[in-house]
Each structure stands twice: as C-alpha cells, then as structure tokens.
Structure 1
Amino acid sequence: MKLNFTFSDTIAGYIVSFTPAERSFVVETSDKRQFKLNLIPSTYARSVRNLDEGYQDATGLMFEFLSKQGQYVFAYGTFYPGADEGDMIFEAQQLIFPGKTPEEYRHEGQDWWIKQIESIAKSYLKWQFNYPESPIDYHNYRTVLNLAGSKRGDYLQETDTISRMIYGFASAYMLTGNDAFLEGAELGTNYLRDHMRFYDQDADLIYWYHGIKVDGAKETKLLTSEFGDDYYSIPMYEQIYALAGPTQTYRITGDTRIMADIEKTIDLFEKYFKDNEQEGYFSHIDPIGLDPRDQSLAHNRARKNWNSVGDHAPAYLINLYLATGEQKYADFLEYTFDTITKYFPDYDKSPFVQEKFFEDWSKDQTWGWQQNRAVVGHNLKIAWNLMRMQSLKSKDEYLDFAKKIAELMPAAGSDQQRGGWYDVVERETLIGGKHHQYVWHDRKAWWQQEQAILAYLILYGILGEEDYQKQAREAASFYNAFFLDTDDGGVYFNVFANGMPYLLGHERFKGSHSMSAYHSTELCYLSAVYINLLITKQPTYFYFKPYPNSFKNNVLHVSPDILPKGSIKIGEVFIDDAPYTDFDADALTVNLPETDKQVRVKVLITPV
C-alpha cells in the first residue's frame, strides 16, 4: 500500500555529505542508517541553550555546520510521500546543533552543568518559598508544582520529595558555594527531623513517615504510603530516599544529628527489611508488625526489587561513604553490588536485567504494572553504579556486568533515529527484530536520560572506549536540546519521541510524587564531576561548610565521587577565603582547624 500522508518527526545523526546547490544533506543515524534531508526557504537553526540563556541562533552558520563531516545534528521536520511507492521525502524545518561552533559539544564545557544546577536550585527556591522575596519556610512546601512552578493548592508534603529537593540544594551548594542553597538544605533537613521522623525508643531505631498533610497549624502525619503501588505499607525505597538529602547535606556540614539519624535508619533496614536467610532486602513491610511477609501487603508480600536492593547506593550509601571513608559502609556497598551481580543478570531471552523477585530470588514476572517488562533506566543505573563501585573495590564481575549492559542497551533501549532513551518496554517481545514494544507509549522521561548520560560518561571517563563517548554525547545532546524548560525553568518530566515536550496530566508538573529537584541536579553534579575530572581534565572547585568538631577526628573528606584511585588530588584549599595548607592532597582530606564556628571550605580538585 502506498503511503499517502505526512507526519512530523526528528532525525538525529552525523553529517555524511552536504550539497549546497541542492540544499540537501545526508545524515547517518546512531545505528548506521542514512537519510537524505532537504532544506526549505524557512529552515532555521539554533545551538543548544542552557537554562537562563537567551536564544542561540545558528541560522547564519548553518552551511558551515552542514559542511563539516561528522557534525552531530537534530533535524525536526516533515516526511512527505515520494513519487515511488514506499519512498519518503524529508524536509527539515529546524536544525539543532550541540555547540556554537562545528564539532563542539557545549555540555562538555567546564561550567555548563554548574550553571544548570544553579538555575534549577534557584527555581525550586522560588517556586516553593518565593525566595529571595520571602524567607525559606518549609511549612509552605507542597509536593505538587505545576508547569510554571505554581502550587496546586493541596496540603500534602511528601517526605521523599522534600529529601530529594534537599539533595538538589546541597549538591548545588557543593558546586557553587551559594549560601542560599545550603540554607535550603539545612532548613529542609531540620524540617524532616522535626516533622517526618519517628524515633522508636524501645528498638532504638528511626523510620520516616510517608508525609504529612498541613492545614494551617494542624498537621496530620501519614505513616504508610499513599502512593497506589505501595498503599498501606512502608516501602523500602521511601525510607531509602528519606536519607538522600540529609546525607548529601552531611557531606557539607558534618552535622552529628544527621549522622545519628542515618545510623538508626540503617538499623531499621538491618532489623526489619534485610533477609538474613536468602540475601538482599525486602521491598515492603507492614505498618503494624513491621513484617515483610504479612498478608496485608498483598502483591508486595515477601518481595525484593531493584529499589530495595540497589537504590541504597546512589540515594545515600555512596555519599555516606564519601563523607566518612568508613569501612562498614564500603562493606555495605560491596554486599549490595554482590547481590545485584549475583541475581539481576538474566540474558537468556532478553537484553534486560530482571528487576523483581520473590523471597527466594525466583523471578516475579506478574507484579502489578511491571509484569515481564524492563525499565530502561534501571539497567543503565546499574551500569553507572557498578562503575563507581569498581573504583572502590575492583572485581571482574562488576566490570563485566557494566560493560554487558553498556553493550546491549543502545539497540534495546535507545531511540537510534531521534536520540534519547525510552521508558518501559517489554523484556522479551520483539517487533521487527527489536525490543521496542512500548508498554504504554514511546515517550522519554527525564530521569532515564540521566541514567544513560551518567553511565556512559563514567564508562568513557574510566575505560576510554570511543563508543562510550559517542553514547554519552548523544544522550547529553538530546537532553540539553529538548528537556530544558528555558521558559519557566527546570526540566520537563517527559518529551515525545521526537523531543517535543509532553505536557498532560502529572507529566506537566515540576513537582509530584515522582519529581522534585533530584535527578536533574544529580545529573548536573555528577556530569560536572565526570566530564571535568575524568574526561576534559578541568580543575573544579567544591564547597563545604563544616560545623566545629563535626567530622570524625576533625577530618573533612572532599572526594566528589568514587573515582579511580590516583585520578584526582587536592590542588588548593581556602578556609573562609584564606589559603590553607593542612591537607592531604592524595588522600583527598582536609584537617580542619580547631574553631568554635562553622567555616567555609573551598577545595580545588585537580585531575592527575
């Protein structure tokens, strides 16, 4: 049947040839297919723009870009039916280049991600607290924020979304030294402690409320989750992410109260969530007996999953180890990654890991919405965090598993015509030889782009293989071209497959049960670390503000992430803007001065 309709779409690829006289060019997509694209009189071009930047016109340089073989480009336009059956003609209406000059990738600039995290943090301060016109007051915090940052009017404050926003503020402080961000992180951490924390004196442990409903001075605490998948249970991932913001804040300040909370929450994990008989951690416990096998848990009874086993590492545990250097947290990390490496690979029928399990580690392929389906970002998240762990304790199985995921994922989970990474797909079903049978849609979520970018950045930064660089550049280029909301601030939740924003339902929100200032700021923080310190070798400042006698032995650990031993060192240190020399450059520690006040520590981390 002859196609007789038009449709708009995006083609992303590398310039193969350009014919100015015909006003046409040929691009090769990531999977080596070639398309001929035609320019029309109204075709215009732009370069990617960061948040808080003006429009970056590149129309005048369009021919210069197109003349450069190997130049990466996004072309948005319209397919028309051609004269021959099955033939399609593509007319490009908009071109987007990843740099201001040919072959440049702006996101690899030393300050690209630093400026981006600063903008995102300022947006959330404005949206939640009307800062700086008003003081930062977490009583005014609301979980749901509309597209432009306005509050919907409900009174719900979810513990995890506050914690994730705190993480964003703390990370922004570490890269910028802006005291407003640290104030937001510390006030938020105090608010969590005062309103969302439950201390069980009899058991000497802490767990965290799902959230509270605030109505004036009245406060209603919600112990169990209100989220549909986890209703009337205490999910492990909510307890894990309650620690995300406070732990990142602890890296900066050494507040001993935070450490006490972390330790007693880990005690909760070990006492009630851990399966000491068959390894790993259960995903849910009931709110009465704190039992993972209670019948009231229904479909969550005696289950284990990626979130309960693996999310410890990126949410708080790696940052806790970075802040302390303590062996017990390194051991916890090793246990976590050994468990993942032992049970998650499942490559007989699928290129994706298995994510959900019964108590005995047999596959759970009938649970809720997931069934036998893959979350693309979880696979990439495993690869990224395995490479972090590999730098702490090298094991062949960690490296082999990370490389296996990195090899399989582009064909299985990415859009190799348009760029970007998909959401949830069937693990085993093939359509036209590919695993792109979308469960609900072919849209792309912001957090899954983050996992791809960080996975391939750290793989390239450590192993140096060109294909990892290619995948990292393509993923970061797509994200920066289409996910940044340069009108209202922050990032979009989802975009269509072609990159245009999808703005319906909860996916139009800047704050929700699923979204706060976490993944977007984590991406900024760690992209700056991996690009500057491992790839482009650009020294970068990091900021801390410890309290007196806070950290053990008064030693501040300043490594920005778990990186290969000997790859970075301290270049210089300033305390309250005065040069300071009492530090161990190779150990990445600063011996803090004896003082009775909080001091500002500015540390230059230098690639070796």
Structure 2
Amino acid sequence: MTIGDSVQSSVTQTATTQQDTSETNAISFSFSDSVAGYVQSFDAEKRRFEFRTSDGRIFQIRLKGGTYAYLVRNLGEPYLDATGQIDSMLEPGRFLYVYGTYYPQENAHVFEAQFLLFVGRKTDEFTFEKQNWWIHQLSEIARFYRKAQFGTGPIDYKDYRTTINLSGARPLDNYVQETDTISRLVYGFASAFMLTGEDEFLEVAEKGTEYLRDHMRFFDRDENIVYWYHGINVKGAREEKLFSSEFSDDYDAVPAYEQIYALAGPIQTYRVTGDPRILNDANLTIDLFDRFFLDKERGGYYSHLDPITLDPLSPSLGENTGKKNWNSVGDHAPAYLINLVLATRDPRFEKMLEDTFDTITNHFQDYDNSPFVQEKFLQDWSPDRQHMWQQNRGVVGHNLKIAWNLMRMYGSKPKPEYEKLARRIAEEMPKVGLDVQHGGWYDVMERARSHGDERYRFAFHDRKAWWQQEQGILAYLILNGVLGDEEYLRLARESSAFYNAWFLDHDDGAVYFNVFANGMPYLLGTERFKGSHSMSMYHSSELCYLSAVYSNLLIFKKPMDFYFKPEPGGFKDNILYVSPDILPPGRVKISAVTIDGKPYDNYDADDLSVKLPESDVRVKVMVTLQPI
C-alpha cells in the first residue's frame, strides 16, 4: 500500500472528506497528522526513512531541516531532547511516533516530519516499562489532586469540588459535591499510599472516607441497609442532600453504578486500614443490591431504582424501567468487589464475584451479530438496542474492561469460558476499536455495519478518552501477564506508548480527558476539565496501580513493595492479606516484611498473609513481594 493509500485511510478514519476532482490524485490538499509505527530502514543521505504501521502499511517519511525529536517522559520529569541523536536512533525495529505534514504532489506523495517522539533511549526499550514508572506517575497525579482540591493547607473535604479546570482551579460559590467523584478520589489516594507509603496520601484517603460516611451515607434503620446520596448541593453554609441522581441519563432515579462507585474509595482504604466500619458499610450496601437491585428470578442487577419505592420496575423510571447493563452487572468487580475479596477472603463476596462473571459470560456475548459484546438488556435479558444515546452501539472500553476483569477472576477461578471470552474480545477489539495508524483506542462505535459498508463507523467522533486507553492497556497487560501470549504484550506496549506520549499534561499536571485521533489534546467544554461528573482520579490511578502490579510481578519479574497501616484489631483474626490483585497461584511470594521499619518474620510467604502483632497503636507495614 502506498503513502497515498495510507493517508486516504487516515482521512476516512478521521471523517475528513473532500470531493475528488482529480482522477490521478485522491487527495488534493495538505494537512498535518501523526503516525505510529516501526522503523524499517533509514537513508541518511536522502533524509528519508521507511516506516511500518502496526497493521503492516508502509510510509515514506522525509526529514526536513527543522525536524526535531524528543523522548516520552513521565509526569514531573524534564523535557528530553533527542534532536541531535535522530540519525543514530532511526534504527530498524524502533517504535516511535511521527508528527508532520502530508503534501500531495504530482506522481508523488510526501509525508514530511515536523517532530519525532521516541518511546525509549534504546531500540528495544519502552521507557514506561521501568520498575517505578507507574508508581512515580501515580505519585505525581496524587500531588496534583491534593493541591487542586485542598491547596497547600490542611485537608478539609468541605473544600472539595466536583468540577476543577485544566490547571486545577475550583469554582468558589454554590457547588455540588458528588459522592462518586469523592469516592474515586479516595480510591486514587489509597492506591497511591499502597505503592509509595507516603502518609499524606493515606490521610487524604481516610479523611475522604470519613467525609463520605458523615455526609453522603444514609443508614436506613427500618430496612437495615445503607445507600449513598448522589451528592450534596452546597449553598453557602447550607447543605442540600441529593438522593436521586442529577445526571441526565439517570435523572430522578437511584442508579446502581452510583451505589457501586460509592464503595470504590472506602474499600481500597479498607485494604490498608482494616477499619471495621467500612466493612459494615460494604455489607449493608451489598444488602441493598441483593434485596432491591437483584433480579432474583433471572439473575443480574437492575440498573435503576425508583427513589421512593426502591422498585426497579416502577413506571416512574421511564426508559430505565426494568433494565440491566454492564455498569449494574459488571462494574461491581473492578470498583470494589475484587478489592473486598482480596482484603477479607469472605465466601459471601467470593460467591458474588463469581456470579458476576458467570452472568457476563452467559449473557453479554453476541458474536453472531457484532464483534462487540451486548451491554444493555431488558428484564428478560433480551438485547436493548434502543436505549437513549447508546442504541445499537458498542463502547470500546467496556469490551476491553470485560476482558481484563475476566482475566483477574481467572486467577482464582480458571474457568474455560472466562478465558474464551477474554481471548475473543482481545482478538476482535483491535479490528474495530484500535486506531492502527495513530495508535490508541476509540470511544463509541456502531455495533453493526451499514448496508454495504466494510467498516464499523464512529457513533459520534474519533476522539480518544483517557479511560478508554486505560482499558486497552490493562486488557493486554493482564492477558499477557496471565496467559503469556507475545501478541498481547505488543498491543499492551503500543497502547501504553500512546497514553504516555499524548495524555500526560506536563504543563499543569495529571492527565487530559480527551485527545484528537492524532494525539493532540482536545480542550473544549467539560472535556477540558480535570474534575467533572466523569473524571476524578479513579481511572488514571487504577491504571497506574494495576500496570505496576502486572508489569513488575508477572511480566518483567521485578519485586515490589506495598504499604499498609492497619487499625489495632481491625482485620479479622489480626491477619493482613497482602495480595495486590487476584494473581494466578504460585506466581508471587512474600520475601520480606517490616513493621515500623524493623524486620518482621511472622508471615506466610506463599499465602501472601501477615499475622499482625498485638498492638494498641497503628503500625506501618511494608511487604515486599517477589515474583517466582
């Protein structure tokens, strides 16, 4: 395929069209774009190199006098110029990004490089595979949100704002504090403490958990359940509780996913502290799920409840009456349930987790009709393909998220159906959801092709959201870590490269919400924010946490330290379970433990558990896990 064919493909992908007025030249205008791929050869005299995309297409790239180059860098790191090393670094096999301008010329097509972006100093190096890359990134993200939400003074959640702008500035008056965004922030800080041991990160997590319990939690004594408010409308010194959702898709209802994500931060904090009040809240919230959201006849959880009657079949719910979806069924697992199982090994939670994945494998597959899973359903599990904005559309990230969570569950329950569905998603998604020219994962696609169309088209746009990139990275990292297929590692590397190359905001901190298809930041509307109903700190921190775990412990065999600070007598039988995720048995062991900085030997290396000492005060536990 020629460069002209390649660029024509790019133009089609990015929905840039122009009436063809020439029989000999398919494109008659110049434009800037990017391309990701591998160097094939370099002609230093002609200042050209041949470049192969991930799917095998060939580009001829021309360097110009002003072409410059730099290296991918982590948050908090200085700019790394590589302009003087361009010739020596254009070695065959090296993966990089080229951003430049396409110039159509008679009988020729030229792609002229404005800059090159290398992903490592050496040909076979991917800098984000360094042992501390993701840990350092999470620390920097945590520092951004600490300053954005609380300034440099004491941590007071009265100052918390759901909405913060690109630089971290907050609105001053009359604002809504959403329960889920606080919980997601808490998750991020608890995860940051687990990887770094920085006490201030745990302070933010614990104060946030306490704030959620004091302001957003409702204990229904009559029903003996806990449910969580949508948030608080703060008007001066007055708080107005918002029980039902204010979000447009869920307005005036109690959506399951809001109750699910209310637990995300507290449960990750519970893994560190063992606070029994958090565990009690979890049990009573799961009672809410099992008594009111659960379809006891057909299985699965309904997506919404009537806020007055707690009835999922109430006509007042309108389009959400009697519906089920990925969020109400599957999001339990990554948001809180896997972490609850890791912290407690409670059979109740283990069974609920297994039921979750059995429900997914039983109902979400729809490969006779589409490469995408079916993720919205009517009460009887028949597909719902007319629901609000989703219609008959597939969310790329939800498909990938199912794959990596199936593989996590596979670590404790290696059911063939889990592996089969995860592999099927891993095979299908690059064909329909991966941008094979620029890199990165798309957002929402049509689940079915139009009559006579060879491609699955974008539902709305070709932009790429930060959370969708998380799903692609984790899908293939975890698949490779558990199953070992080298193709999964290649896709994980290319996905990680796109995210680290384009999503890190080196000017203001943290990560961008969205980028254009070519990687340039998209900074309009709510998508320019670092805090919103959709964005807090959850996906960026979950990505860092799990990428560090799977890259180090399962793929590249590097030890990791994890930190805990349990309350006296908090954990049952005074046993701290320290497995960072549901890892396949026999792959990791404890190699060392310290308590308050001193060596400690009362642990079971293979069981990944520590028998805590009797103490009236909190102790700080550091556990070193060693790959086997």
User: TM-score normalised to the size of structure 1?
Assistant: 0.98
* 1:442 match: secondary structure: coil
Are residues 1:54 and 2:65 paired?
no
Describe the superposition over 1:265-294 as per-residue Cα deviations: whole angstroms up to 9, x where unpaired.
000000000000011000000001000010
Could you tell me how far 1:434 is from its partner in structure 2?
5.0
* 1:346 match: secondary structure: coil
Pairing 1:565-584 to 2, within 5 Å after superposition: 565-584=585-604
Could you tell me how far 1:327 is from its partner in structure 2?
1.9
Counterpart among 348, 366, 375 of residue 346 in structure 1 = 366
Describe the superposition over 1:480-517 as per-residue Cα deviations: whole angstroms up to 9, x where unpaired.
00000011000000000000000000000000000001
- 1:436 & 1:5 partners in 2: Cα distance? 26
Are residues 1:108 and 2:129 paired?
yes
Pairing 1:169-318 to 2, within 5 Å after superposition: 169-318=189-338
| Counterpart in the other structure of 2:4 | none
Could you tell me how far 1:598 is from its partner in structure 2?
0.7
Are residues 1:558 and 2:578 paired?
yes
Letter in 2 for 1:213: N
Could you tell me how far 1:370 is from its partner in structure 2?
0.2
Letter in 1 for 2:111: F
Letter in 1 for 2:123: P
Aligned residues with identical type, % of pairs: 61
Sort the Cα spacing of 1:433 and 1:25 in 2 relative to 1 into closer, same or farther, 3 A.
farther
| Counterpart in the other structure of 2:40 | 16
Letter in 2 for 1:397: E
Sort the Cα spacing of 1:434 and 1:95 in 2 relative to 1 into closer, same or farther, 3 A.
farther
Counterpart among 471, 475, 492 of residue 472 in structure 1 = 492
Counterpart among 447, 451, 456 of residue 476 in structure 2 = 456
Could you tell me how far 1:176 is from its partner in structure 2?
0.2
The 8 Å contact of residues 428 and 435 in structure 1, kept in 2 or not, is answered as no
* 1:22 match: secondary structure: coil
Counterpart among 370, 373, 379 of residue 359 in structure 1 = 379
Could you tell me how far 1:582 is from its partner in structure 2?
0.2
- 1:231 & 1:512 partners in 2: Cα distance? 17
Counterpart among 528, 535, 545 of residue 515 in structure 1 = 535
| Counterpart in the other structure of 2:434 | 414
User: TM-score normalised to the size of structure 2?
Assistant: 0.95
Are residues 1:396 and 2:419 paired?
no
Describe the superposition over 1:345-384 as per-residue Cα deviations: whole angstroms up to 9, x where unpaired.
1111211000100000000000000000000000000000
Letter in 1 for 2:121: K
The 8 Å contact of residues 58 and 100 in structure 1, kept in 2 or not, is answered as no
The 8 Å contact of residues 50 and 60 in structure 2, kept in 1 or not, is answered as yes
Letter in 2 for 1:514: S
* 1:473 match: secondary structure: helix
Pairing 1:358-377 to 2, within 5 Å after superposition: 358-377=378-397
Q: Which runs of 5+ in 1 are unaligned?
A: none
The 8 Å contact of residues 383 and 403 in structure 1, kept in 2 or not, is answered as yes
Counterpart among 5, 28, 36 of residue 60 in structure 2 = 36
| Counterpart in the other structure of 1:120 | 141
* 2:411 match: secondary structure: helix
- 2:604 & 2:119 partners in 1: Cα distance? 39
Describe the superposition over 1:428-460 as per-residue Cα deviations: whole angstroms up to 9, x where unpaired.
125996544111110000000000100100111
- 1:382 & 1:584 partners in 2: Cα distance? 32
The 8 Å contact of residues 236 and 283 in structure 1, kept in 2 or not, is answered as yes
Counterpart among 74, 80, 103 of residue 103 in structure 2 = 80
- 2:418 & 2:135 partners in 1: Cα distance? 30
- 2:298 & 2:89 partners in 1: Cα distance? 57
Letter in 1 for 2:229: Y
Sort the Cα spacing of 1:106 and 1:340 in 2 relative to 1 into closer, same or farther, 3 A.
same
Describe the superposition over 1:569-603 as per-residue Cα deviations: whole angstroms up to 9, x where unpaired.
10100000000000000000000000001110000
The count of residues paired between Structure 1 and Structure 2 equals: 603
| Counterpart in the other structure of 1:324 | 344
Could you tell me how far 1:215 is from its partner in structure 2?
2.4
The 8 Å contact of residues 431 and 437 in structure 1, kept in 2 or not, is answered as no
Sort the Cα spacing of 1:242 and 1:436 in 2 relative to 1 into closer, same or farther, 3 A.
same
- 2:87 & 2:431 partners in 1: Cα distance? 31
Describe the superposition over 1:203-255 as per-residue Cα deviations: whole angstroms up to 9, x where unpaired.
11000000001223211000000000000000000000000000000000000
CA-atom RMSD in angstroms = 1.0
Sort the Cα spacing of 1:344 and 1:80 in 2 relative to 1 into closer, same or farther, 3 A.
same
| Counterpart in the other structure of 1:602 | 622
* 2:475 match: secondary structure: helix
Letter in 1 for 2:144: S
Are residues 1:136 and 2:148 paired?
no
- 2:133 & 2:86 partners in 1: Cα distance? 23
- 2:300 & 2:109 partners in 1: Cα distance? 53
- 1:63 & 1:362 partners in 2: Cα distance? 58
The 8 Å contact of residues 234 and 287 in structure 1, kept in 2 or not, is answered as yes
The 8 Å contact of residues 448 and 456 in structure 2, kept in 1 or not, is answered as no
- 1:431 & 1:42 partners in 2: Cα distance? 46
The 8 Å contact of residues 412 and 434 in structure 1, kept in 2 or not, is answered as no
- 1:599 & 1:230 partners in 2: Cα distance? 43
Are residues 1:152 and 2:176 paired?
no
* 1:392 match: secondary structure: coil
The 8 Å contact of residues 561 and 623 in structure 2, kept in 1 or not, is answered as yes
* 1:229 match: secondary structure: helix
- 1:278 & 1:399 partners in 2: Cα distance? 24
Could you tell me how far 1:102 is from its partner in structure 2?
2.2
- 1:65 & 1:356 partners in 2: Cα distance? 48
* 2:461 match: secondary structure: coil
The 8 Å contact of residues 413 and 435 in structure 1, kept in 2 or not, is answered as no
Describe the superposition over 1:282-335 as per-residue Cα deviations: whole angstroms up to 9, x where unpaired.
000000100001011001000000000000000000000000112221111110
- 1:394 & 1:199 partners in 2: Cα distance? 38
- 1:539 & 1:311 partners in 2: Cα distance? 30
* 1:269 match: secondary structure: helix
- 1:64 & 1:305 partners in 2: Cα distance? 52
| Counterpart in the other structure of 2:11 | none
- 2:450 & 2:271 partners in 1: Cα distance? 46
Mean Cα deviation higher: 19-28 or 469-478: 19-28
Could you tell me how far 1:152 is from its partner in structure 2?
2.8
- 1:433 & 1:560 partners in 2: Cα distance? 45
- 2:84 & 2:541 partners in 1: Cα distance? 34
| Counterpart in the other structure of 1:95 | 116
- 1:107 & 1:432 partners in 2: Cα distance? 42
